[in-house]
Amino acid sequence: EAKFEPLFKKIDELKPRFIDRLAKAIEIPAVSSDESLRPAVVKKAHYIADELKKLGFTDIQMKELGTQPPPVNDPNLQLPPVILSRYGTDANKKTILIYGHYDVQPAALEDGWDTDPFKLVIDEQKQLMRGRGVTDDSGPLKGWLNVVEAHRELGFDLPVNLVTCFEGMEESGSVGLDTLIAEEADKYFKDVDTVCISDNYWLGTKKPVLTYGLRGCNYYQVTIEGPGADLHSGIFGGAIAEPMVDLVQVLSSLVDSKGKILIDGVMDMVAPVTEKEKELYEKIDFSLDEMNAASGSETCLYKNKSDILMHRWRFPSLSIHGVEGAFSAQGAKTVIPAKVTGKFSIRTVPDMNSDKLDKLVIEHCQKAFSALGSPNKCKAELIHNGDYWISDPFNASFTAAAQATKTVYGVEPDFTREGGSIPITLTFEKELKTNCMLLPMGRGDDGAHSINEKLDLSNYFGGMKTMAAYLHYYAAAEGK
Amino acid sequence: EAKFEPLFKKIDELKPRFIDRLAKAIEIPAVSSDESLRPAVVKKAHYIADELKKLGFTDIQMKELGTQPPPVNDPNLQLPPVILSRYGTDANKKTILIYGHYDVQPAALEDGWDTDPFKLVIDEQKQLMRGRGVTDDSGPLKGWLNVVEAHRELGFDLPVNLVTCFEGMEESGSVGLDTLIAEEADKYFKDVDTVCISDNYWLGTKKPVLTYGLRGCNYYQVTIEGPGADLHSGIFGGAIAEPMVDLVQVLSSLVDSKGKILIDGVMDMVAPVTEKEKELYEKIDFSLDEMNAASGSETCLYKNKSDILMHRWRFPSLSIHGVEGAFSAQGAKTVIPAKVTGKFSIRTVPDMNSDKLDKLVIEHCQKAFSALGSPNKCKAELIHNGDYWISDPFNASFTAAAQATKTVYGVEPDFTREGGSIPITLTFEKELKTNCMLLPMGRGDDGAHSINEKLDLSNYFGGMKTMAAYLHYYAAAEGK
Ligand SMILES: [Zn+2]
Ligand SMILES: [Zn+2]
Ligand SMILES: [Zn+2]
Ligand SMILES: [Zn+2]
């Protein structure tokens, strides 16, 4: 649309400054999982806070979350701060909470990076930026700052109020953030109308997407215990009931090789696929080849696009992760492990009830074990769970983002879900009693947690333009 | 018998000297698995060689076995020597090869020992000696030296010639010994009539035993491979064929929770139980309580003595040891392992054919995997094997040892087999074209590879008297 022309032009004009802002961020090795790098994480928080101040953000608060809970080497290790700030406080405008994280995954040249991971490098030929955090999540976070700067340079008012919630522990479980959100729900976050999270990716490399659903995850373990200590298979083999033999029987009763969950009642809880939903899947830009490229194999269980995506996003799955307590090294050890724990998890989707699922799973394991007639002891239990998230892809926020995408990229975005979980999404919705949208900036092949993490320049700038247009479309929508 | 009275009396008289000889050996931490302790292992070899020399052994040769093959930190690490020596070279006497090992298992006070493991401690109340190696295998090895010394003190001739083969790598796989035995079969070991191995234990704590059989062990692995790298279960779960899911299906097809091997054809190879054999088992001093005490649980698969023992000694068993490549730590990791390897082994017995067994096992795994219809790849293979050993418990050597046991302990020994394997037994029989006997000195509760390893004084002295009487009974038997 013509009205965005000056704004988009300004964003392009400020390219050197926007790249420099990201480069300075990338140079700080803010690895939240590395205790020794905690000072760098804090340094990056202050770098961002300084930028916010320069750009006119107000009420900047570095929220301390206390010491990091165990396991930790330094019992006094402080969690990095959450950066709260505001841009605009006009009661007549809508307020959007922008979530992002400034910490990054570990990275080292020795892992196989082509260049120093903590130095932003521009590949002019491929027109991309490389460095740890460019796409996850420093690029998107800086994107919001840049959008504000572009408005200021033009003397434009922002059409909405912004509230930032930038954390420094996302790559390490967002420790402490749930509590902060709950505490600030009626305070700092009081007037928030909607939440926008830019911390995921396009499904592929060409088509922009908006993400309206995430699966949950219930993680279980089943422990089978027999002898008082590990035994020698030469001495006891044949006369003792072996826990590992019982365990493989129980684990083999959970799911078949076609991915079908064999636990009674689980599939009954899954919401049926609607016709409207089917259409959404059919429109998505994706192929079996892309799936095979991503998995590095041709071991996909389905051949057509909709089946593959539905089984990744909207059907539950059961994965067996491993066994604790058994022999797990190279070579040959003739041990009868005394106590073994099988680990598996179920990805959950609407309308599965988490508590009911736990009951079905635990009863199933107990029943499968009982059927063995083993003298060993068996205990099945939930280790942790996180609920699924699903939003209405046709609400005001998604509609605004879809319009923005169309304006910038010239295509309707694909409406996607994801198979993994981003627990903070649920926390925002629950505590702020509002809705969330996932607005990705990068592409599916950015290598967020891998070597040579990159962000295409077209995604950085296209992403910022989409963010900018989103603010305007959302401001113009019904309500307030 | 009266003729042994002076000899037995002398053995008792020399108690302080015999304990001191063992104490000096225990003080040398000859842990063969610890590269940094290799000098101690060599030092202990020289200590023994010096003792042999003082006692009149001749032709003492410290046989070097070259460098230790990988995996090893120091590529120039020398293997400890095998000590060959002779006592007597009378062509009119029979020649007994005595096997023993001077290396020991690792031990540290921190593991939970009541006293320094490398200091021999006498518990006067319990009338036992404690220290690493007292029962495995320094006590029995020194026992033979003591028997010679008792004869010398009395001015008695030994009724047989002795040849020693004392190695220093038994606890680390007897590396290099097979080759040495093959090389010396027609040289140093040329005139050997029989082999006596004192490196095992009574079944229980009260009844002396002679051991005439050992199970073999064929160790297998089955590897299932899918994706190009480990995947995230949130992103791929439900759409990808998971190797771990296939693996638990294959492993669950091998054996049931009652210990029944489910691989077609395996049990058909097992020699039927004879009436004579049944009687041997019924006479053995053993109980379910002892089995439970040994396993630290009440998870035995059988209730009566003969069933328990037969399933430990004369029936095959299949144990599942663990999985390599899957998640094996504490906690919860949402990984889909790309490549997993299940490890299992089968204890073999007469008349199982090792090659045929491999074929049955590998075909079974392939068939079980094929039935899954999985797009993953599966490979089943043998990692290593060692044959079973069975001897005639009524031959001249066993008969002499039974007579000796009766003379010393006043009871007929139990004729036992063992579930584990001592591969060197087979090597001696094959290369020297003779037979072997296992003549244990210690008790079943000595804790050979555990903390607080002990040897009861009554076993040390009873064992030496049995060894001494055995030499005389064997000398007096038919032949030569
Ligand atoms: Zn992220
Ligand atoms: Zn991340
Ligand atoms: Zn031993
Ligand atoms: Zn041993």
Best mutation site among A321, A327, A372 for testing chain B: the one with the most B CBs within 10 Å? A321
Q: Whole-angstrom Cα distance, residue A104 to residue A34?
A: 10
Residues of chain B with CATH 3.40.630.10: 2-214+389-476
- Asked if B328's CB is within 8 angstroms of A323's CB, the reply is yes
Give the pLDDT of residue A54.
Answer: 98
Per-residue pLDDT at A1 exceeds 90:
no
- Which superfamily does CATH assign the domain made up of B2-214+389-476 to? Zn peptidases (3.40.630.10)
Per-residue b or e along A121-157, where b marks 16 or more CB atoms closer than 10 Å to that residue's CB: beeeeeebbbbbbbbbbbbbbbbbbbbbbbbeeeeee
Residue A367 · residue A265 · CB < 8 Å: no
Contacts of A430 (CB under 8 A, 6+ apart): none
Nearest-CA distance B347 → chain A (Å): 7
Residue % of chain B over a pLDDT of 90 = 91
Closest alpha carbon within chain B to A325: B328
**Average pLDDT of chain B to the nearest whole number:** 96
Question: CA B388 → CA A373, B202, B385, B423, distances in Å?
Answer: 31, 20, 10, 8
Contacts of A217 in chain B (CB under 8 A): 233-234, 334
Looking at the predicted structure, is the pLDDT value of residue A410 above 80? yes
Ordered strands of the A128-130 beta sheet: A121-123, A128-130, A454-456
CB < 8 Å to B295, chain A: 226-228, 231, 236, 240
- Mapping DSSP to helix (H, G, I), strand (E, B) and coil, where does residue B124 land? coil
Q: How many CB atoms lie within 10 A of CB B59?
A: 11
Least confident of A107-116, B37-46, B374-383: A107-116
Which part of chain A has CATH 3.30.70.360? Answer: 216-270+315-386
| DSSP structure class, residue B269 | G
**What is the residue type of A398?**
F
Q: What ipTM does the predicted assembly reach?
A: 0.89
Whether residue A327 and residue B321 make contact (CB cut-off 8 A), yes or no, is: yes
Report the topology of domain B216-270+315-386: Alpha-Beta Plaits (3.30.70)
Q: Report CB contact under 8 Å: B259, A239.
A: yes
Q: Amino acid identity of B191?
A: D
| Interchain proximity A322–B324, CB inside 8 Å | no
Q: Label residue A247 exposed, middle or buried (CB < 10 Å: 0-12, 13-18, 19+).
A: buried
Helix axes A288-295, A305-313, angle to 10 degrees: 50
Query: CA B196 to CA B95: how far, in whole Å?
Result: 11
Mean pLDDT value of segment B383-395:
92
- Nearest-by-CA chain A residue for B370: A257
Mean per-residue pLDDT, B205-220:
95
Cα B418 to ligand 3 centroid, rounded to whole Å: 14
Instruction: Note whether B319 and B344 are within 8 A (CB).
Output: yes
DSSP state of B413: P
Looking at residue B33, its amino acid is S
pLDDT of residue B480 exceeding 70, the answer is: no
Give the Å distances, CA to CA, from A426 to A23, A213, A389, A433. 32, 11, 6, 10
Q: Which residues of B are catalytic?
A: 103, 170
Render pLDDT for B288-326 as a digit per residue (tens, 0 to 9). Answer: 999 999 899 999 999 999 999 999 999 999 999 999 999
How many interface pairs between A and B have CB atoms less than 8 angstroms apart?
Answer: 286
Across A337-343, average pLDDT: 97
pLDDT at B449: 85
Peptide bond into A230 cis (omega under 30): no
User: Active-site positions of A?
Assistant: 103, 170
Query: ∠ CA A185-A186-A192 to the nearest 5 degrees?
Result: 65
* CB < 8 Å to A238, chain B: 259, 301, 311-312, 315-317, 347, 419
What pLDDT, on the 0 to 100 scale, is given for residue B282? 93
Closest-CA residue to A360 (of A233, A262, A240): A262
Contact B322 A328 (CB under 8 A): yes
Instruction: Collect all residues of chain B within an 8 Å Cβ-Cβ radius of residue A324.
Output: 327-330
The 8 Å CB, 24+ separation contacts for A404-408 are A404/A465, A404/A466, A404/A467, A404/A468, A404/A469, A404/A470, A404/A472, A404/A473, A405/A208, A405/A210, A405/A466, A407/A1, A407/A4, A407/A465, A407/A466, A407/A469, A408/A8, A408/A208, A408/A462, A408/A465, A408/A466, A408/A469
> What secondary structure letter does DSSP report for A31?
B
Residue A420: pLDDT above 90?
A: no
Tens digit of each residue's pLDDT (9 = 90 or more) over B408-447? 999 999 999 998 888 899 999 999 999 999 999 999 999 8
Please tell me the number of Cα atoms within 13 Å of A315 on its side-chain side: 20
Whether pLDDT at B450 is above 90: no
The string of pLDDT tens digits covering residues A162-195 is 999 999 999 998 999 999 999 999 999 999 999 9
| Statement: residue A432 has pLDDT above 80 | yes
Q: Do A215 and B234 touch (CB under 8 A)?
A: yes
Distance from CA of A427 to the nearest CA of B (A): 19
For residue A480, what pLDDT is reported?
62
The alpha carbon of residue B402 is apart from the nearest alpha carbon of chain A, in Å, by 24
Mean pLDDT of chain A: 96
Contact list, A248 vs chain B (CB under 8 Å):
248, 251-252, 320
In a mutagenesis test of the B interface, which of A201, A323, A346 is the best target, namely the one with the most B β-carbons within 10 Å? Answer: A323
Residue A385 has pLDDT above 80, yes or no: yes
DSSP 3-state of B434: coil
Q: Which residue in the block uniquely carries the two structure tokens 């001592």?
A: B422
Give residue A102 CA to ligand 2 midpoint distance, Å: 10
Quote the CA–CA distance of A139 and A33 in Å, as a whole number: 20
Calculate how close chain A gets to B160, using CA atoms only, in Å: 34
Higher pLDDT, B447 or B260: B260
Cα→Cα distances A400→A469, A477, B269, B372, Å: 8, 8, 74, 48
pLDDT of residue B173: 86
